[in-house]
């Protein structure tokens, strides 16, 4: 693979323990008028070093998107309370003014959403949108930016980029739009890229293309990646560390190999046993997780997952489990699955 | 009968006894219209373009393919919700299109549908009881109250809902429970065939398995036949006995579920299979992916010859872009007659004689044959039987 995308030096992969992004006790509470406050993200912490890839998985409503929006400073200003710290190079992004945050966004922190249409400007041709990023964040002239923009569209697999530069977002297919968005997000050479379900709306063969593009780019440029998805398969082949979220909290965090080889939170284990695998044995019955998120208990006085858990103990309904570091992972569970190996 | 089959008449009669659905040469073409005063037809969306398909009593047939490949349209054509432009669909030996009045109503009772979006397909103002009774009344199955109420309770217990659910409304349930209601409604009229279009795609991963298991249990209990339409190959492989892989309105490959997985033969199936992520890093790390370039061509302007040739890594100079391959049993030792592939070069690809090459992505125009984009968007399926 060539590294046409990056004209400057790739970000160095540092061996230092200094995190690039450090999320501390991030909590997001929605205050809907007349309603009980709703804690969507509850004490989430993690570190991201240059070149790291981190996955956040969990089902719908578990707080994945709200976590990423809080990091990017993209939550609405009204009716939301965000506490904790989002330290980027040691500076707390939550304390920045909206203008200061806007400068960081794009330049240092990039984001790709599930629906690329929402983040592309519908009345500006794709080429111009990419060049504008190059002009703004890399200080290039329009003249210098144009060929680079074309190169980037080519790099993310957009056929006939010369022509596509002049196209408007609605003239592209979903997969092509997602590529254009990746090209745009990466044009500024951000040090952290957050991808929130970037392939969920796409067909699986297109998903494979996009994931391959992302993987190469991250490898070539050293950009740290946060990959948000509900699909355990997507993170299995892509990230170093996986955070499993349930009802707003991280319940298990481990490197991908130990996590998949031996899930220890009953929720993680339950998820893995419940999804059909393409390479699974067909006769085997799936083991569903009983109930639904509607059965959850409040974290403030219990384990939210207890009513659906395969092995709850009395404590689970009476006390809040904390995220505790075990040998090779962090677990929020009073009665984790036995170590079998 | 269309030419795109190699099932001989002999084989047909051998199967005839247990064939429940027999679709022959089915085409569904949607006209693309333009014009303010006169609706001028300026082209067609070739949504389904020549499909032969048989579903045997008691089996689960899975139709898989990417968005826009025509799965839902074919499913609807089989239900006769979408009258085929060409071809016929026989159900239990009778061409449904030839029926009318009472006989049609009776036949329709035998085929029910389960939809992707349980909320969109259930009337929010109707209680579960009234939703379930509706079909039963229409088909004269709710003769007296005692009988009906017994049947209602049976239905709920079959789909794993408490009888208290009867008085509730759809919004009071979770997605998985709503899908159970949708399934109970389909079951309420004692159908023989259930066509389930993406029955679990709208559900949370943790809940999908509940519904998949339920479908399997009900099949066993009531001897149902299923046609499951879905884009998730892992789900389809899990629940299906046989699978048809669709690409641009036609079946590219058809086989027993295990054979398809063990030995995918069509280049598209190979690519599709290799693209499905597996939740296992050990598998993912050593997998060889066949990454296709470019997008699915527009069904309003499908490529000539083999419909896959614009993206096929094995495409050859001859035949591929001129002759449409027929769905046929390849001459490969060990490959049974139930395994059919629509590729000119199946044998040479399998033997390794033909090696894959790089493909330059081709531009796919989003507007098809000048068609309106809204026309080409995925159709919403809101009618019920
Ligand atoms: N602007 C908002 N106002 C009020 N509640 C919100 C808002 N945004 C999100 N929520 C709630 O916060 C919770 C977490 O939502 P979030 O979007 O982070 O989930 P998610 O994990 O990204 O799910 P999905 O997989 O469906 O995208 C949900 O219950 C959601 O309804
Ligand atoms: N009523 C209609 N009028 C015009 N075009 C239609 C109509 N219904 C479907 N189509 C088109 O036919 C093609 C096949 O659509 P279909 O819904 O069958 O695909 P599918 O395989 O079910 O896709 P998905 O996975 O998105 O549901 C698409 O291009 C679609 O836009
Ligand atoms: S017929 Fe040709 S283009 Fe089509 S799948 Fe076979 S090799 Fe590829
Ligand atoms: Mg989300
Ligand atoms: Mg469909």
B374 lies within 8 A of chain A by CB: no
Reduced to 3 states (helix: H, G, I; strand: E, B; else coil), residue A62 is coil
The full length of chain A comes to 341
Nearest-angstrom CA–CA distance, B94 and B88: 10
For chain A, give every domain's residue range: 21-239, 246-275+289-331
**CA A211, A213, A214, A215 torsion-angle sign:** positive
A103 lies within 8 A of chain B by CB: no
Pure H helices in B139-275? 145-158, 175-187, 205-222, 233-239, 257-262, 267-275
Residue B200 has pLDDT above 80, yes or no: yes
Cα–Cα distances in Å, from B336 out to B7, B10, B239, B278? 13, 16, 21, 28
Residue position matching structure tokens 């031996």: A262
Tell me how crowded residue A94 is: count the other CB atoms within 10 A of its CB: 17
B291–A208 CB contact, under 8 Å: yes
What are B150's two structure tokens?
């017994």
Contacts of A319 (CB under 8 A, 6+ apart): A301, A302, A303, A334
B275 contacts on A by Cβ (under 8 Å): 204-205, 207-208
pLDDT tens per residue across span B283-329: 999 998 998 988 889 899 999 999 999 999 999 999 999 999 999 99
What pLDDT does residue B380 have? Answer: 29
Which residues are registered as beta bridge partners of B51? B26
Residue position matching structure tokens 């949370």: B204
Instruction: Give B364 or B219, the one with higher predicted confidence.
Output: B219
What's the predicted TM-score (pTM) here? Answer: 0.89
Quote the distance between the C-alpha of residue B57 and its chain's center. 16
A255 lies within 8 A of chain B by CB: no
B281–A256 CB contact, under 8 Å: yes
Average pLDDT, chain B: 87
Residue B240 has pLDDT above 50, yes or no: yes
Specify the CATH architecture of the domain A21-239. Answer: 3-Layer(aba) Sandwich (3.40)
The pLDDT of B212-240, averaged and rounded, is: 94
From first to last of the 341 residues of chain A, give the pLDDT tens digit: 333 344 444 454 545 568 999 999 999 999 877 888 999 999 999 999 998 999 999 988 899 999 999 999 999 988 999 999 999 998 999 999 989 998 888 889 999 988 777 788 889 999 999 999 899 888 899 999 999 899 888 888 888 888 888 899 888 888 888 888 888 888 888 999 999 999 888 889 989 988 998 888 888 888 999 999 999 999 999 999 999 999 999 999 999 999 999 999 999 999 999 999 999 887 789 999 998 888 999 999 999 999 999 999 999 999 999 999 999 999 999 999 998 76
Contacts of B101 (CB under 8 A, 6+ apart): none
- Residues 80-119 of chain B whose Cβ lies under 8 A from any Cβ of chain A: none
Is B311 a pocket residue for ligand 3 (Cβ < 6 Å)?
A: no
pLDDT tens per residue across span B5-52: 455 554 544 455 699 999 999 999 999 888 777 788 889 999 999 999
Contact present, A204 and A30 (Cβ < 8 Å): no
Residue of A203, A212, A263, A291 to mutate for B, most B C-beta atoms under 10 A: A203
Instruction: Choose one of B26, B32, B47, B76 to mutate for the ligand 2 pocket test, by most ligand atoms within 8 angstroms of C-beta.
Output: B47
CA angle A332, A334, A335 (to 5 degrees): 110
Distance in Å, CA A159 to ligand 2 centroid: 25
Instruction: Give A225 or B115, the one with higher predicted confidence.
Output: A225
Q: How many CA atoms lie within 13 A of B223 on its CB side?
A: 6
Q: Whose CA is nearest to atom 25 of ligand 2?
A: B67
What distance in Å separates residue B209's CA from the closest CA in chain A?
5
Contacts of A62 (CB under 8 A, 6+ apart): A245, A246, A247, A248
Residue B64 has pLDDT above 90, yes or no: yes
Distance in Å, CA B140 to ligand 4 centroid: 45
Nearest-angstrom CA–CA distance, B179 and B46: 31
Contact present, B121 and B195 (Cβ < 8 Å): no
The full length of chain B comes to 385
Which residues are registered as beta bridge partners of B48? B28
B209–A275 CB contact, under 8 Å: yes
Q: Which of A76, A108, A65, A10 is nearest to A195 (CA)?
A: A65
Nearest-angstrom CA–CA distance, B231 and A320: 40
Q: Whose CA is nearest to atom 1 of ligand 3?
A: B343
Contact present, B302 and B248 (Cβ < 8 Å): yes
Write down the ipTM of this complex.
0.87
**Nearest CB neighbour to A237, from listed B273, B284, B364:** B284
CATH superfamily of B2-110+191-375: P-loop containing nucleotide triphosphate hydrolases (3.40.50.300)
Q: Which of A274, A251, B67 is nearest to A259 (CA)?
A: A251
Q: Is B11 exposed, middle or buried (0-12, 13-18, 19+ CB in 10 A)?
A: exposed
- In the DSSP assignment, the letter for residue A63 is S
Contact present, B334 and B247 (Cβ < 8 Å): no
For the sheet containing A91-92, what is the strand order?
A38-48, A21-30, A80-88, A91-92
Reduced to 3 states (helix: H, G, I; strand: E, B; else coil), residue B210 is helix
Contact present, A339 and A268 (Cβ < 8 Å): no
Quote the distance between the C-alpha of residue B219 and its chain's center. 17
Q: Give, for B133, the enclosing helix (H) or strand (E).
A: helix B128-138
Tell me how crowded residue A40 is: count the other CB atoms within 10 A of its CB: 21
What pLDDT does residue A226 have? Answer: 97
Contact present, B290 and B276 (Cβ < 8 Å): no
Lowest-confidence pick of A129-133, A138-142, B79-83, B357-361: B357-361
- In the DSSP assignment, the letter for residue B328 is B
**Nearest CB neighbour to A279, from listed B213, B257, B283:** B283
Residue B3 has pLDDT above 80, yes or no: no
Residue position matching structure tokens 């939210």: A304
Nearest-angstrom CA–CA distance, A211 and A114: 13
Q: How many CA atoms lie within 13 A of B95 on its CB side?
A: 9
What is the band of B384 on the pLDDT scale with cuts at 50, 70, 90? Answer: very low
B216–A285 CB contact, under 8 Å: yes
What is the band of B355 on the pLDDT scale with cuts at 50, 70, 90? Answer: very high
What secondary structure does DSSP assign to A124-176, as a single string?
A: S-HHHHHHHHHHHHH---HHHHHHHHHHHHHHTT-SSHHHHTT--GGGS-HHH
- Residues 213-232 of chain A whose Cβ lies under 8 A from any Cβ of chain B: 230-232
Strands in B57-140 per DSSP E? 60-65, 86-91, 94-95, 111-114
Residue B112 has pLDDT above 90, yes or no: yes
Contact present, B253 and B266 (Cβ < 8 Å): yes
Is B297 a pocket residue for ligand 3 (Cβ < 6 Å)?
A: no
What is the band of B366 on the pLDDT scale with cuts at 50, 70, 90? Answer: low
What pLDDT does residue B370 have? Answer: 35
B175 lies within 8 A of chain A by CB: yes
């Amino acid at each position: 693979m060539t590294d046409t995308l990056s004209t400057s030096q790739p970000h160095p992969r540092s061996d230092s323990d200094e995190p690039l992004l450090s999320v501390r006790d991030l909590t997001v509470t929605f205050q809907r008028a007349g309603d009980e406050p709703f804690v969507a993200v509850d004490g989430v912490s993690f570190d991201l070093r240059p070149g790291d890839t981190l996955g956040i998985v969990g089902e719908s409503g578990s707080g994945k998107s709200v976590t990423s929006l809080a990091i990017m400073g993209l939550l609405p200003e009204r009716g939301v309370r965000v506490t904790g710290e989002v330290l980027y190079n040691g500076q707390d992004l939550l304390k920045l003014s909206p203008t200061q945050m806007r400068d960081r966004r794009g330049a240092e922190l990039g984001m790709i959403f599930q629906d690329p249409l929402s983040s592309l400007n519908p009345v500006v041709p794709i080429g111009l949108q990419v060049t504008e990023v190059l002009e703004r964040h890399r200080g290039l002239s329009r003249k210098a930016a144009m060929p680079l923009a074309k190169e980037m569209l080519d790099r993310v697999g957009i056929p006939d980029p010369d022509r596509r530069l002049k196209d408007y977002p609605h003239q592209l297919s979903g997969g092509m739009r997602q590529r254009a968005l990746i090209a745009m997000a990466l044009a500024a050479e951000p040090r952290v890229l957050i991808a929130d379900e970037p392939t969920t709306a796409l067909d699986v063969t297109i998903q494979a293309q996009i994931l391959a593009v992302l993987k190469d780019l991250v490898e070539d440029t050293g950009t740290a990646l946060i990959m948000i998805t509900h699909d355990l398969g997507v993170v299995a082949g892509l990230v170093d560390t996986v955070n499993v979220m349930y009802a707003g909290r991280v319940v298990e965090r481990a490197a991908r190999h130990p996590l998949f080889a031996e899930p220890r939170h009953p929720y993680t284990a339950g998820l893995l046993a419940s999804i059909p695998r393409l390479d699974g044995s067909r006769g085997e019955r799936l083991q569903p997780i009983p109930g639904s998120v509607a059965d959850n208990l409040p974290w403030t006085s219990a384990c939210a997952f207890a009513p659906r858990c395969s092995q709850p103990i009395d404590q689970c309904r009476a006390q809040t489990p904390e995220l505790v570091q075990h040998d090779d992972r962090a677990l929020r569970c009073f009665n984790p699955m036995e170590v079998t190996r | 009968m269309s030419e795109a089959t190699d099932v001989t008449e002999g084989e047909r009669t051998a199967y005839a006894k247990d064939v429940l659905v027999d679709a022959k040469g089915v085409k569904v073409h949607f006209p693309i219209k333009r014009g303010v005063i006169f609706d001028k037809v300026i082209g067609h969306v070739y949504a389904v373009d020549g499909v032969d398909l048989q579903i045997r009593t008691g089996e689960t047939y899975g139709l898989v393919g990417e968005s826009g490949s025509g799965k839902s349209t074919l499913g609807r054509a089989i239900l006769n919700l979408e009258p085929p432009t060409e071809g016929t669909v026989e159900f239990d030996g009778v061409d449904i299109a030839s029926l009318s009045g009472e006989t049609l109503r009776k036949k329709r009772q035998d085929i029910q549908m389960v939809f992707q979006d349980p909320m969109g397909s259930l009337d929010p103002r109707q209680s579960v009881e009234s939703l379930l009774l509706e079909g039963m009344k229409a088909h004269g199955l709710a003769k007296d109250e005692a009988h009906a109420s017994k049947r209602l309770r049976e239905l709920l217990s079959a789909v794993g809902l408490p009888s208290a659910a009867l008085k509730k409304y759809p919004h009071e349930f979770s997605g998985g429970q709503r899908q159970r209601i949708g399934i109970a409604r389909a079951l309420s009229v004692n159908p023989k065939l259930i066509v389930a279009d993406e029955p679990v795609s709208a559900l949370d991963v943790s809940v999908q398995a509940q519904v998949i298991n339920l479908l399997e249990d009900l099949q066993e209990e009531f001897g149902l036949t299923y046609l499951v339409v879905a884009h998730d190959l892992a789900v389809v492989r899990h629940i299906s006995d046989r699978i048809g892989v669709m690409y641009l309105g036609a079946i590219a490959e058809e086989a027993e579920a295990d054979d398809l997985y063990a030995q995918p033969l069509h280049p598209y199936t190979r690519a599709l299979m290799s693209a499905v992520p597996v939740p296992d890093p050990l598998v993912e790390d050593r997998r060889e992916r066949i990454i296709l370039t470019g997008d699915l061509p527009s069904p309003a302007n499908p490529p000539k010859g083999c419909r896959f040739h614009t993206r096929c890594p094995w495409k050859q100079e001859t035949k591929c872009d001129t002759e449409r391959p027929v769905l046929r049993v390849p001459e490969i030792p060990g490959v049974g007659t139930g395994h059919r592939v629509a590729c000119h070069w199946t044998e040479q690809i399998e033997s390794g004689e033909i090696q894959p090459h790089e493909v330059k992505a081709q531009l796919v125009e989003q507007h098809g044959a000048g068609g309106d984009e809204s026309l080409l968007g995925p159709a919403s399926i809101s009618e019920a039987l």
